[in-house]
Every structure is written in C-alpha cells, then in structure tokens.
C-alpha cells in the first residue's frame, strides 16, 4: 500500500488568483510548499473529490513537468478516482475544456501562464476549470484564496513519478492515471463544427497559401494534425510547431509585436493569402490577410456576421457577448441580426453562465480571444478554422471580406495602449485618480468632444445575478467614442495599465485611415485624463495593438 504523507506548511500571502488563475514567476512556484499549498487549498475548497475524475495538462512551459507530477500525487491523496492527463503533460486550454466536457469530469487543472514568456526566468501559472469546462467563477477562486491564508498542512502520495509519454492507464495508489491523446478529442470536435471538405479543397487548390505560427507553444501538435494531416495543407504550413519549455526564447503572444516573422510573410507583395498565430496555451489568436491585420474586435464581428456559412452555426445564434473593453463592432452586427449582445467584464469566466443558459453562442474579447459554446474557453485554432471556412465559402480575400464588412456596418477604429511593468503604487494611483474624477467629468468637453458617461463599470450577471464591481473606468462621449482604463490581472511583474480607445466611423471616405491617426485626439484626451506621464514617468506605451 502506497503511503500518503501529511506535510506541515505555513501560508503564503500572495496566492490570490487573478482573471486567469494564479500567475507568478517560475522562481516563486519553485519555493518549497508554494505549489502544494495552492493545490491543497483548491482541493480543500472543492465539495467532494472522492472518486471524481480530474483533467490535467498544460502548455509545456518550464516547470510544467514537475508541477504535473506533484499534482498527480496530491490528487491521489485527495481521493480522486481518475485523472485524465494529456500525453507528455500537454493540453491546450480549449482542449482541456473540451476533454472536461466530453468525459464529464468534475473539473480540471490547467498549467499555463497563457501568453506570458516561459523558461527558468519566465512565468508559470495554474488555474482550475469547473465541470462545464469554464474557468472557476469568482466565488470559487475567492474561497481558494481564503483557504490559502490559513492552510497548515497538505497531503501527498509518496511514490515515484508516472510516465506520461505513452498512452494508457497506470494505477497510482488507489487512483488511475490515464494518459490521453492531447489532440484527438479536440480535432474530432473541430471536424464536427467546420466543413473540413471545403477547407481542404481551398488549401489544396494551388491558389491559396497560408502560414500558421504556433510560436513553439502548445498548439503545434494540434495545428500539424489538423492543418497538415487532416486538411492536407502543404508541409511547412505550421511554423515553430515544436513545443519548447522556453517557447524557443520567444514571447508566445500572437500580436504584431511578437509574431514579426509571420507578419513579414503576410506583408510581402506576393505574401501568403492567410496567416494566423496562437499563444502559449492555445486560447488566443491573431488573424492576418495579405497586407492586413484583423483586429480581434473586428474578427468577432465578422465571425458573427458570417456564422450562417459554417455548419456548426448554420442553425442561428442565440446571442453574442463581448468584454466591456472590446469594441462595439459586434453590437452593430447583433442589432441587424436581431439577437442580444451582452457586455461583460474582462475574463472568459464571465461568459460561462451566458453560454450554459444558451443565451449566447459566440463570445469575444479584444485581447485576441474568440470562442463559442463548443467549449467554455476562448479558442485560437477554432477561430482560425472559422476564418478558413468563411474564406472557402465566400471565395474572397481577407481584405475584401473586412472592407465589405466596414462598408456595410461602419468601422469601429480601435486600439489598446499597454503600459507594462509599472510601479504598482503608481498604477493604482492612476486608477484612483480617475475614479475620484468621475463625478466631475460628466458633460465636460475635451478636445471638442462632450463626455456623456463616466463610471466605474459594474456587472450584474443576468443568469445568477451575481455582481462584480470595479471592472474598469469608462469614459463615453456623445459621438459614441469611448476610452476605457483598467489594470490587467495577467502579468507577473509590477502592474499593467491598459487604455482602450474606440471611435466609430460610417463615412465611406474615412474607413481606411491609419488607426492611430484616426484615434489621435482620443489618445491625447486619455493621457490627459489619466495623467500617465506625471504619475508614472512613462512617455509612451510599452506596446500598442
């Protein structure tokens, strides 16, 4: 009989999960008892682990392999009956959600810091998804944090590591560890949603070229299987397809700054017709056409407008949802389709209740995340396949589809300015300054624009009526322009201030301006209102998307 050890410990004060779980530097997780404390706090919070099925996997970043073995030993000690773990410890975040749902697991632990850098000096993360495949709601993460503040012991199985390179079952104390094909369930689900025959015909026509940059992250095996094997795209279509613990020294964030090689391939005169990238754990995506970048806000709007062309959504959409800082482009499509559009706080967990209640079908966030009711996470490869399905049916280029969309619905010029690694006190000071100014801002004019709304966004969930306060400072103008200020919860160093800027334009002669030029006056107003330079010392954003 394998022994279960009880280990004495003391609490760590910094184990409060953010919008996507607990994220810290690898060195923080490597502290003795740090990971174990958090996992035990989670297991103590769950109602009943006895005999339950748990899903486990991660994005393959540094420390993933060590953490998985620790969690397996603690899951056995907690009384779980079975753990489904991805082969070699890999599971993309959307695939983990799909496995939870398909196998009716009680929940899952996903090891990832998403789009954050990896390696020994990089970031690590852990989050829990509940039995519908959705990230744990705030009532769960708050309870875990409370438990972490008083924990004094954890329980762990005393035995050697289990091999994760071969498919099959292994007895692990009284628990069964089943190593599953990380790609199989997910690829089958994609085949059920999209017209693979039509996409295959496009990719093998000799008239269409594409590149997918897996950024040496978890989507490499998924993309190679789906694009190059099942859809028969040319060998080499998938770039950087081998997952590496440090993501090849790169930053696995699919945006114009961190996927420069892909962007260059699409911006050549004879560049590829289509390009896409996914992030560290596979839930974010970037969409490119020859010479054009599709903003995530435009992408969810275009997917909504064209959903009837895709088999899995041909029956119609019940509604759509977007995070509050995401542009209102999808709102205009929803209005024309006669379906509701919900505005939620940032964080995919806020879409879960809407999806479970079947009052929305598609969801999107400006932070390069789109998804649907097929799982309860945003899904990078799903978005790429959705675009390929639309391109195959419409027979047009990405640029033609985007430009026709703007001509029909107007264009929501949109940008996000990130000030990364700010001093925490300075960042909090900016938000507190804005919050204190709200009552004085209504009906004031700046740069010829009149403010019509100034508030600190609060969200009441229409399903369970829970309330989430302080979700971002909103400044709205009478011409429908918006500026949003919020602090990000996904970083691990200092604080990140995000400023979102949006201006609607319906004049056909003004639909093709440079985005930063179109938003120049709003940018000036935003920096004036927030007193960014005075309070942080920063002259310019770290990154603009």
Q: Which residues are marked as active site?
A: 114
Could you give the 3-state DSSP secondary structure of residue 44?
helix
Which two structure tokens, joined as six digits, stand for 130?
């509940």
Distance of alpha carbon 366 from alpha carbon 345, whole angstroms = 12
- Give the residues across from 86 on adjacent strands: 180
The CA-atom distances, in angstroms, between 344 and each of 326, 341, 348, 351, 413 are 10, 10, 9, 7, 21
- Give the residues across from 60 on adjacent strands: none
What counts of helices (H) and strands (E) characterise the chain?
Answer: 18, 27
Angle (CA) 187-188-190 rounded to 5° is: 65
What is the b/e burial string over 42-56, where b = at least 16 CB atoms within 10 angstroms of the residue's CB? bbbbbeebeebbbbb
Which two structure tokens, joined as six digits, stand for 516?
């930063």
Distance of alpha carbon 272 from alpha carbon 268, whole angstroms = 8
Distance of alpha carbon 10 from alpha carbon 33, whole angstroms = 8
The CA-atom distances, in angstroms, between 289 and each of 125, 249, 272, 349, 388 are 32, 26, 8, 30, 11
């Amino acid at each position: 009989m394998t022994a279960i050890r009880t280990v004495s410990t003391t609490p760590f004060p910094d184990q409060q999960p953010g919008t996507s779980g607990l994220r810290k530097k690898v060195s923080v997780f490597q502290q003795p008892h740090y990971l174990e404390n958090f996992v035990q706090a989670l297991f103590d919070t769950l109602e009943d682990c006895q005999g339950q099925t748990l899903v486990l996997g991660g994005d393959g970043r540094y420390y993933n392999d060590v953490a998985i073995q620790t969690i397996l030993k603690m899951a056995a000690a907690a009384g779980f009956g079975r753990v489904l773990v991805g082969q070699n410890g890999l599971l993309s975040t959307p695939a983990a959600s799909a496995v939870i749902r398909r196998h009716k697991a009680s929940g899952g632990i996903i090891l990832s810091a998403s789009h954050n850098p990896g390696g020994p000096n990089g970031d690590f993360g852990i989050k829990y998804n509940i039995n519908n495949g959705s990230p744990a709601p705030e009532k769960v993460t708050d309870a875990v944090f409370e438990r972490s503040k008083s924990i004094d012991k954890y329980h762990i199985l005393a035995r050697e590591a289990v091999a994760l390179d071969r498919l099959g079952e292994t007895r692990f104390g009284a628990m069964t560890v089943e190593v599953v094909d990380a790609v199989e369930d997910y690829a089958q689900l994609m085949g059920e949603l999209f017209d693979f025959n039509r996409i295959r015909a496009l990719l093998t026509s000799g008239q269409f070229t594409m590149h997918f940059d897996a950024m040496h992250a978890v989507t490499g095996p998924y993309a190679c299987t789906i694009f190059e094997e099942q859809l028969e795209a040319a060998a080499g279509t998938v770039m950087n397809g081998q997952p590496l613990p440090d993501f090849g020294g790169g930053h696995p964030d699919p945006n114009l700054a961190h996927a420069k090689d892909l962007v260059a391939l699409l911006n050549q005169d004879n560049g590829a017709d289509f390009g896409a990238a996914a992030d560290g754990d596979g839930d974010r995506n970037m969409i490119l056409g020859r010479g054009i970048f599709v903003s995530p806000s435009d992408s969810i709007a275009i997917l909504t407008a064209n959903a009837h062309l895709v088999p899995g959504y041909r029956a119609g959409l019940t509604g759509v949802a977007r995070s509050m800082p995401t542009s209102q482009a999808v709102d205009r499509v929803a209005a024309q389709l006669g379906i509701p559009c919900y505005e939620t706080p940032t964080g995919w967990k806020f879409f879960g209740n809407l999806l479970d209640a079947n009052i929305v079908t598609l969801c999107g966030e400006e932070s390069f995340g789109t998804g649907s009711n097929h799982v309860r996470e945003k899904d990078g490869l799903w978005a790429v396949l959705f675009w390929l399905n639309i391109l195959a049916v419409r027979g047009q280029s990405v640029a033609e589809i985007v430009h026709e969309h703007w001509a029909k619905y107007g264009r929501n010029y949109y940008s996000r300015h990130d000030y990364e690694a700010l001093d925490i006190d300075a960042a909090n000071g900016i938000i507190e300054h804005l919050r204190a100014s709200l009552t004085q801002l209504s009906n004031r004019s700046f740069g010829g624009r009149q403010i019509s709304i100034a508030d600190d966004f609060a969200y009441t969930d229409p399903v369970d009526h829970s309330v989430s306060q302080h979700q971002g400072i909103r400044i709205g103008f009478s011409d429908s322009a918006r500026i949003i200020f919020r602090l990000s919860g996904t970083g691990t160093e200092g604080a990140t201030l995000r400023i979102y800027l949006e201006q609607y334009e319906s004049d056909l002669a003004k639909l093709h301006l440079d985005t930063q030029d179109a938003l120049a006056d709003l940018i000036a107003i935003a920096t004036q209102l927030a007193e960014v330079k005075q309070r942080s010392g920063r002259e310019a954003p770290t990154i603009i998307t």
